[in-house]
Structure formats: structure tokens, C-alpha cells
Amino acid sequence: TDPVIEVEKLNFYYGSTEALHNIDLQFPRRQVTALIGPSGCGKSTFLRCLNRMNDMIDGTRVEGSLRLNGMEINAANLDVIELRRRVGMVFQKSNPFPKTIFENVVYGMRIAGIRDRTVLAETCEKALRGAGLWDEVKDRLNQSALGLSGGQMQRLCIARAIAVNPEVILMDEPCSALDPKSTARVEELIGELRENYTIIIVTHNMQQAARVSDYTAFFFEGLLVEFGLTNQLFMKP
Ligand code: ADP
Ligand code: ADP
């Protein structure tokens, strides 16, 4: 196997409270892995370890090893901005900026210092096509992203993530604020994105995990209790 992310003996603490204990997990390349388990079991904390979003929370501590294509994610001298380009994140509530649709998509490219109009425009179109949104927004790229529907905003955030060519896309309950139709659209999109990206999705919805994922990781009280092919895990009596 050729995992994209390898996690070894991961412990995570909020102050003196241990939220993750001795997690060993490898994420298969170009597959969808669902993280499931009851509220408070550590799924979001685990996801935030993968792009160091926990760094923003005071008093946290990580032990163990997390490698992205061989690179240690917790290295002290790591370029965290570059890490977050390589490990994109889509949140539960989509968070477009109060700017144009175009500027929302090219946000990460601007941070990366890309200024060429043609490159920005071409990449914007490609990312919006990849997120299944191009036909809906191509005539209003210069209008505010805040005029989009909830489902469109969520796909816009996916376009923003893929515009900078990440290796992994993290999704934290990406459909929990969406209606059934938009949820189905995003699930279909996840199926398409797995051709090119490794996707890790947190969901509290077992049916959704069964529908969209190739692999499933069950967490319980800070422990990884089961990991395997979704088809096999969900067939167990
Ligand atoms: P979810 O289960 O969807 O992660 P929560 O309501 O548990 O939502 O958490 C919402 C926010 O509050 C998250 O950013 C989380 O990190 C933070 N949070 C959760 N538990 C605590 C806690 N015990 N102390 C401080 N912040 C917390
Ligand atoms: P899940 O995503 O599975 O709902 P979380 O990762 O949000 O679980 O939370 C795991 C544990 O860590 C919970 O006990 C939660 O209260 C605690 N926790 C989460 N965020 C914080 C925080 N910012 N500060 C302190 N404790 C937190």
C-alpha cells in the first residue's frame, strides 16, 4: 500500500485532558475515508491534527507522528500555510468571504503569490467545473458569493480547496447544514473527487458514511476502535 497520510501513536491533549489516545491509522490514496463515532469522541480534533488547525487553540499538545507523503506534519519548522494548501479543508458551515465568487475561488492562489490574470481565470474555471458549479455561476463570477444558496456555497468552498491542487481534502460534516437535494449533490461530487484526491470526511450520519466512503474509521472516547473497508464493516451482523 501507498498511504497518503500515516498516523502513528498519536495522543492529543487539551490541557491535561486527553482527547485522542494512541491512534494508528493510514489513509489510502485516492479513496474516501469516513470518520464516524458519537459526538465528543474526537473526530474533529483528529481532523484538525492533520492540517494543524489545533495550533490555533491554546494549551493543546500533540504526541506521536503524523506524516503527509513522508513529511512530518508536526515538525517545528513546518510551513503551516503550505501544509494547509496541501491539506484543504471544507467546514460544516460553508464560509465564503463577502467577496466575489471569483475572489473566493482564487483566494488560496493569491496567498500562494499567483497574480497572472489568465492563470487565475483558467484555474478558477477548472476548479468550479471540478466542483460541479461552473454552469450555475459562470455568468456571475463578479457577483458576491453571499448570494449563493447553501448548497452552492458548500460547493464553492470545495472549489476553493481544489483550486490550489491539494493532496488531501478534509471535510467536517460538509452536509449537516444542507437540505436533502444539496446533500445528494455534494455526495455525488465526493464520488467524482475521489478520482483525483484523497478525501477524509467526518460525518455523524452512518448512512452517508456507507454511501460515500471506501474506508471507515470508528472512533469512541478518543480511541480508534475499528478501521476497514466500508462494505465489510457495514455488512457485519
Ligand atoms: P462538534 O461536535 O460538531 O465538534 P461541538 O459543539 O462539540 O461541535 O464543538 C463546537 C466548538 O466548540 C468546536 O470548535 C470545539 O473545538 C469547541 N469545544 C468542544 N468542546 C469544548 C470544550 N470542552 N471546551 C472548549 N471548547 C470546546
Ligand atoms: P467530535 O468531533 O467527535 O464531536 P471533538 O473532537 O469535537 O469530538 O471533541 C473531543 C473531545 O475534546 C470532547 O470531549 C470535547 O469536549 C473536547 N474538546 C473539543 N474541543 C475542545 C477545546 N477547544 N478545548 C477543550 N476541549 C475540547
**Cβ–Cβ contacts within 10 Å for residue 119, how many?**
12
CA angle 168, 38, 43 (to 5 degrees): 25
Point out the ligand nearest to the CA of residue 219.
Answer: 2
Q: Which pLDDT score, from 0 to 100, does residue 237 have?
A: 56
Q: Which pLDDT score, from 0 to 100, does residue 88 have?
A: 95
What tens digit of pLDDT does each residue of 132-162 get?
999 999 999 999 999 999 999 999 999 999 9
Query: Phi/psi at 166 (nearest 5 deg)?
Result: -75, 165
* Whole-number Å distance between alpha carbons of 206 and 166: 27
> What residues are in contact with ligand 2 under a 6 Å CB criterion?
14, 19, 37, 39-45, 57
SS3 per-residue string spanning 123-153: HHHHHHHHCCCHHHHHHHCCCEHHHCCHHHH
List all residues 6 or more positions away from 109 whose beta carbon is below 8 Å from its beta carbon: 119, 120, 123, 163, 164
What tens digit of pLDDT does each residue of 212-235 get?
999 999 999 999 999 999 999 887
Q: How big is the chain by its Cα radius of gyration, in Å?
A: 18
* Whole-number Å distance between alpha carbons of 232 and 1: 19
Point out the ligand nearest to the CA of residue 39.
Answer: 2
What's the whole-number mean pLDDT along residues 5-27?
Answer: 98
CA dihedral of residues 231, 200, 168, 100 (deg, nearest 10): 120
The pTM of this model reads: 0.91
Q: Which pLDDT score, from 0 to 100, does residue 235 have?
A: 74
In this prediction the ipTM stands at 0.77
* Whole-number Å distance between alpha carbons of 161 and 140: 20
Point out the ligand nearest to the CA of residue 19.
Answer: 2
Q: Are 92 and 113 in contact (CB under 8 A)?
A: no
pLDDT above 90 (res 92)? no
What tens digit of pLDDT does each residue of 25-35 get?
999 999 999 99
Residue to mutate, 10, 20, 45, ligand 2, most ligand atoms under 8 Å from C-beta: 45
Beta-bridge partners for 224: 219
* Whole-number Å distance between alpha carbons of 139 and 125: 12
What's the whole-number mean pLDDT along residues 185-210?
Answer: 95
Q: Ligand 1 center to residue 207 CA distance, Å?
A: 24
Q: Is the CB of 54 under 6 A from ligand 1?
A: no
Q: Is the CB of 39 under 6 A from ligand 1?
A: yes
Percentage of the chain beyond pLDDT 70 is: 99
pLDDT above 70 (res 120)? yes
Q: Is the CB of 203 under 6 A from ligand 1?
A: no
Per-residue confidence at 236, pLDDT binned at 50, 70, 90?
A: low
* Whole-number Å distance between alpha carbons of 147 and 153: 9
Q: Which ligand 2 atom sits nearest the alpha carbon of residue 46? A: 6
